[in-house]
Amino acid sequence: MENRFGDKIKSLREQQHLYLRQVAAHLEIDTALLSKIEKGVRNLKKDLVPKIAEILNADKEELLTLYLADQLNELIKDEPLGKKAMNIIINPNN
């Protein structure tokens, strides 16, 4: 399973030498939950994405885009017509 958002926040956290517990405390969530978010097992609440961007000195728009990409992927990954449906959204006149 692709986990663009979780991979990105883990990478940013590690680059800044921050522990899971430090970031989780700033987000006011459990350390185990943040670990699961980084692994793609659980999802972060969308309203916390800007806050984690601030904590990790990251681009908010990039993190929101990755978050949404993961959400869309999760929704259509097992759908035989999922890719076709996405193409309709991207190119509505084709």
Pick the CATH number of 4-90 from 1.10.260.40, 2.130.10.10, 3.90.550.10, 1.20.1560.10: 1.10.260.40
pLDDT per residue over 40-86, tens digit each? 999 999 999 999 999 999 999 999 999 999 999 988 989 999 989 98
The predicted structure's pLDDT at residue 3: 87
* Alpha carbon distance 53, 65 (integer Å): 12
**Which pTM does this prediction carry?**
0.86
Q: What is the residue extent of each domain of the chain?
A: 4-90
Q: What is the mean pLDDT of the chain?
A: 93
Rounded average pLDDT over 32-46: 95
The predicted structure's pLDDT at residue 2: 76
Per-residue burial over 3-38, b if 16 or more Cβ lie within 10 Å, else e, is bbbbebbbebbeeeeeebeebbeebebeeeebbebb
